[in-house]
Amino acid sequence: MFLRIIIISLLLSYATAASLYSQQKQGDLIPGQLIIQLDHLSSMDKIEKSLTFTGLKTMRVLSERLNIVLVEYNPQLVHAEDMLLNIRSKPGVINAQYNHVVELRGIVDNTPDDTMFPDQWNMNNTGQNSGTPGADIDALKAWDITTGGLTAMGDTIVVAVIDGGIEVTHIDLNVFKNHQEIPNNGIDDDQNGYIDDYYGWNAVDNSPNQPSSAHATHVAGIIGAKGNNTEGVAGVNWNVKTLSIAGSSSVEAIVVAAYAYAYEMRSLYDETSGEKGCFIVAINASFGVNQGQPENYPIWEAMIDSLGRIGVLTAGATANLDYDVDQVGDIPTAFETPYLISVTNTTKSDDRYFSAAYGANSIDLGAPGTLILSAMLNNTYNYRTGTSMATPHVAGAIALLFSAADAEFIQNYKANPAEVVLQIKQYILDGTDSISGLVGKSVTGGRLNVYNSLMKLLNAPKLDVNPEQLSCSLLTNNTEIKELQVQNSGGDTLFYTLAIEDQPAWISLGTYNGVLASGMSETILVNFNSEGLDTGFYYCEMSIVSENAGTKTVPVSLEVYTDVSVYERDQEHPKLSIWPNPASSQVNLNITGMNSNVATITISNLSGNILFSTRLPALESGNFELIWPFGDIRGNKLASGMYIVEIVTETHKMRSKFVLY
């Protein structure tokens, strides 16, 4: 009986330990355990006696030949770091380390436990209901990478659904709530111009009262139904927030008003560094005008374009009719703005749905839209068909990519939203699976594959330059060569082009384009020539442009002097220092070696808009320091991004950049 009790106790302890470790991540420390290797003459006896107060004891011998043991101690009595240092200092100890959780490297079954997921062929097509295996968006593999929710910098990702109004109480939906607004108090608490917009906005009757539409609720479920919650279905994102904007009416002015609300909420988020508004990255627009002509809807298109310039892509559904949009037109999917992704409907057999529009120039791609199971009113679920069901797969994919991007990508996006969001669009288009029904009938000839798009993002080339700014000092009628290194620290091949706007005669490059494999770099020779130039300072900017890795801008300066001015020049050595850079709360600007009676400092964004400007006191000592708390002229806190500092005096002009995160 005694032996049986011991065995049962051991089994229970191992089961408990296995359960505990299964809840930890790989690499996590196992509390209260160390692995120790002793020399062949030593044992744990003396060490255990010297550390009795820690509860130290041997759990098991891991190797008799190598004298390696697993020990345990009471982590409530001694800190882990102190315990490890103490053990390592003991005579006879060759090495000691923490014990860690290890993860099996087998194929993980990440199929969500949502009760109706087996019927979601659009996410994982196994051939159910006579479908074609693999004719899906490859969601299971994508969810190995991310299930959505937050950016690497902690932003809560939001997809705005301009439609008939989401059922905001549906148990399977992650509906955005504006917590800066107190509902039903009749006050515009967050001062965004919309009263009581706690659950979004109703642009139809210009009120916060949200209608509940089956169409909008179905769309929201495709984008972001909660995944792996033992309930209903799983969305493309398991954790993304959907913002309800009622606005898909029969009146165009209401559509414009709906877009305007989305624009206000994202702009407010940027302007308040996330304190107000919301981080909208995509808009789902499953409505339009059959055979509409873009020239008749310029403001509608301008709204999509304006949102794109602050970093928001619109996924637009094309017509549910078998016609060529390139020939007969369509609104919005015939618009030319680059910030629109136009979507048609594909089936479980990877065909274009027979009653879905197409267009080799206008329709970007297809996505599953036939018999799609998703959320419906009154906490129910059902199937729907149409380009309206295809489009939210793309809107959801956009948001999923944002959740997988690293902090540097998100930081670059916030500094250059109009440019970087087009990279996201390109990853979506480049990741498609080619299908015969869309070859020659869409831009990509393919159907959405969100896993492929994620891999395009994660393995994208990464453009780095060194140094970040170039300066040269030359005697008149002289030349000098400086080096600029261009590097690809990303995963895919980098194609780049160098350009100097309004290129002055005093600078030229050894090469103006190149190709870099992953991990490779190239040195560009930059030739400076002061021939025929008057003494003084000259400035320009060099751009290193890559379609698949963005743009880097390098400020370039040339100082031209004569022999007579050498002594004076050597006395000054003007310098602008900025620290910390990047910064989160305030930045220190220090000027040294610049004597001047008149000096002005301006801070602007990358678009050239001056946000802060002040006149500095006379720089008679040659030194000045300014602490700037990230406020604009009106005292408003600036959004995260990259900014330009410029110092101008009678004789000098200096320029530098810093990043706010």
Provide the percentage of residues in the chain whose pLDDT is more than 70.
Answer: 89
* Residue 270 is assigned to a structural domain of this protein: yes
pLDDT for 471 equals 86
Tell me: do 66 and 179 sit in the same domain: no
155 touches 274 (CB < 8 A): yes
CATH number of the structural domain spanning residue 497: 2.60.40.10
- The predicted structure's pLDDT at residue 376: 97
- Would you say residue 78 has pLDDT above 50? yes
Q: Examine the domain organization and report whether 566 and 591 are in the same domain.
A: no
Q: Are residues 392 and 310 in the same domain?
A: yes
Of 537 and 371, the one with more pLDDT: 371
Residue 175 exposure: Cα atoms within 13 Å on the Cβ side: 24
Predicted local confidence at residue 609, as pLDDT: 76
- Contact, 315 vs 222, CB < 8 A? no
**Matching residue, tokens 């509390």:** 31
Are 303 and 366 in the same domain? yes
pLDDT tens for 292-302 read 999 999 999 99
- Given 77, 100, 123, the domain boundary residue is 100
Q: How far is CA 48 from CA 40, 57, 448, in A?
A: 17, 6, 61
Residue 17 lies in a domain: no
Q: What pLDDT digit, counting tens, does each position of 598-609 carry?
A: 678 888 877 677
Q: Is 594 or 2 the better-scoring residue by pLDDT?
A: 594
Average pLDDT over residues 406-431: 93
Is position 612 within any domain?
Answer: yes
Whether 584 and 562 share a structural domain: no
How high does pLDDT run on average in the chain?
A: 87
More confident site: 93 or 619: 93
Angstrom distance (rounded) from CA 569 to CA 657: 25
21 — pLDDT class (breaks 50, 70, 90): very low
pLDDT (0 to 100) of residue 7: 31
Same-domain pairing of 210 and 238: yes
Same domain, 392 and 248: yes
pLDDT at 517 over 50: yes
Q: Concatenated DSSP letters for 375-436?
A: EETTTEEEEE-SHHHHHHHHHHHHHHHHHHS-HHHHHHHHHSHHHHHHHHHHHHHHTPEE-G
What the block records as the tokens of 652 is 């000098």
**Domain count for the chain:** 4
**In whole angstroms, what separates CA 106 from the centre of its chain?**
29
CA gap 172, 635 in Å, rounded: 42
The CB density around residue 635, as the number of other CB atoms within 10 Å, is 7
Assign residue 592 a region (left: φ > 0; alpha: ψ between -120 and 50; beta: otherwise): beta
What number is the average pLDDT over the span 333-342?
97
Q: What percent of the chain has pLDDT over 90?
A: 62
Residues 287 and 319 in one domain: yes
- Are 167 and 289 spatial neighbours (Cβ–Cβ below 8 Å)? no
Range in 90-104, 306-320, 427-441 the model is least confident about: 90-104
Say which residue the tokens 């989305």 belong to: 262
Among candidate residues 532, 552, 572, the one where a domain is terminated:
572
Each residue's pLDDT tens digit, 450-484:
999 999 999 888 888 988 888 888 898 899 999 99
pLDDT of the residue at 591: 74
Which structure tokens are listed for 481?
A: 């060569």
Averaged over 195-203, what is the pLDDT?
96
pLDDT at 169 over 70: yes
Based on the fold, state whether residues 199 and 315 are members of the same structural domain: yes
CATH of the domain at 253: 3.40.50.200
Q: Which residues of 50-67 are buried (b: 16+ CB within 10 A; e: fewer)?
A: ebeebebeeeeeeeeeeb
Using DSSP bridges, classify how beta strands 241-246 and 157-163 pair: parallel, antiparallel or unpaired: parallel
* Whole-angstrom distance, CA of residue 625 vs CA of residue 618: 12
More confident residue, 249 or 193: 193
Q: Is residue 123 part of a domain?
A: no
Lowest-confidence segment of 168-182, 295-309, 541-555, 616-630 by average pLDDT: 616-630
366 neighbors 438 (Cβ within 8 angstroms): yes
- If one compares 503 and 445, the residue with the highest pLDDT of the two is 445
Please write the tens of the pLDDT for every residue from 207-255. 999 999 999 999 999 999 999 999 999 999 999 999 999 998 778 999 9
Angle of helix 298-309 relative to helix 252-271, nearest 10 degrees, comes to 20
Domain CATH for 63: 3.30.70.80
**Residue 14 to residue 120: CA distance in whole angstroms:** 39
For residues 176 and 77, membership in a common domain is answered with no
Label residues 34-47 b or e (16+ Cβ within 10 Å = b): bbbbbeeebebeeb
Closest CA to 309 of 405, 421, 412: 421
Tell whether the model's pLDDT for residue 8 goes beyond 70.
no
Q: What is the pLDDT of residue 399?
A: 98
Reported confidence tier of residue 114, pLDDT bands at 50, 70, 90? very high
Is 356 contained in some domain?
A: yes
User: Domain span at residue 46?
Assistant: 25-100
Residue 318 has pLDDT above 50, yes or no: yes
Residue 611 located in a structural domain:
yes
- Both tokens assigned to 317: 């559904």
- Residue 494's pLDDT band, with cuts at 50, 70 and 90, is confident
**Domain boundary, last residue among 519, 543, 572:** 572
Running DSSP on this structure, what letter comes out for residue 54?
G
Answer whether residue 380 shows pLDDT above 90. yes
Name the residue with higher pLDDT: 658 or 220. Answer: 220
* Res 16 pLDDT > 50: no
Task: Tell me: do 283 and 388 sit in the same domain.
Answer: yes
Q: Is residue 32 part of a domain?
A: yes
Establish if 566 belongs to a structural domain.
Answer: yes
CATH code for the domain in which residue 630 is found = 2.60.40.1930
Query: Are residues 566 and 579 located together in one domain of the fold?
Result: no
> Which amino acid belongs to residue 636?
N
State the pLDDT confidence band at 655, using cuts at 50, 70 and 90: confident
> What's the angle, vertex CA 411, arms to CA 544 and CA 139, rounded to 5?
100
User: What is the per-residue pLDDT for 594?
Assistant: 64
Residue 392 has pLDDT above 80, yes or no: yes
